């Protein structure tokens, strides 16, 4: 089979230099969700970043980055926490128009 002498262009030849553009809409969305996370902490009784970070077993600085939208949050930390999980559901419902939240606590005693 005859071999072609034409060479494939190098990867570096195909790329045109350009300035990177920040996707501000993503950061704005993260910041909006960060406000929901912050509200969940307040609803759960963790009034300060330090208290919330202690409950989540993480660095307060990292939590601040999530709240500000600087970084993507690890929401599993909230959803796996006994107190923060239901508080997060409430905080998410608060920002939804027309959402109605009904919570009930039922205690069922087992016969001894």
Q: What is the span of the domain harbouring residue 56?
A: 31-81
Cα–Cα dist 97/30, whole Å: 19
Cα 19 from chain centroid (whole Å): 28
In a domain, 39, yes or no: yes
SS3 of 46, please?
coil
In a domain, 112, yes or no: no
In a domain, 63, yes or no: yes
Task: Give the number of domains in the chain.
Answer: 1
In a domain, 67, yes or no: yes
Is this structure's pTM higher than 0.75?
A: no
Could you list the pLDDT tens digit for every one of the 112 residues in the chain?
556 566 665 655 566 666 666 666 788 899 999 999 999 999 999 999 999 999 999 999 999 999 999 999 999 999 999 999 999 999 999 998 888 888 787 888 888 7
- Residue 90 near residue 52, CB atoms below 8 Å: no
If one counts every other C-beta atom within 10 angstroms of the C-beta of residue 99, the result is: 10
Reading the block at residue 39, the tokens are 């509200």
**In what helix (H) or strand (E) does residue 25 lie, and over which residues does it extend?**
helix 24-43
Residue 64, burial from CB neighbour count under 10 angstroms (0-12, 13-18, 19+): middle
Reading the block at residue 85, the tokens are 């999980």
In a domain, 5, yes or no: no
In a domain, 96, yes or no: no
In a domain, 109, yes or no: no
In a domain, 66, yes or no: yes
């Amino acid at each position: 089979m005859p071999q072609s002498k034409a060479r494939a262009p190098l990867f570096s030849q195909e790329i045109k230099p350009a300035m990177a553009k920040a996707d501000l809409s993503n950061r704005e969305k993260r910041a909006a969700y960060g406000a929901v996370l912050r509200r969940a902490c307040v609803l759960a009784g963790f009034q300060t970043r330090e208290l919330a970070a202690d409950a989540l077993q993480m660095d307060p600085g990292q939590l601040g980055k999530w709240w500000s939208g600087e970084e993507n949050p690890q929401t599993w930390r909230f959803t796996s926490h006994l107190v923060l999980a239901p508080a997060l559901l409430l905080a998410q419902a608060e920002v939804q128009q027309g959402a109605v939240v009904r919570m009930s606590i039922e205690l069922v005693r087992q016969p001894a």
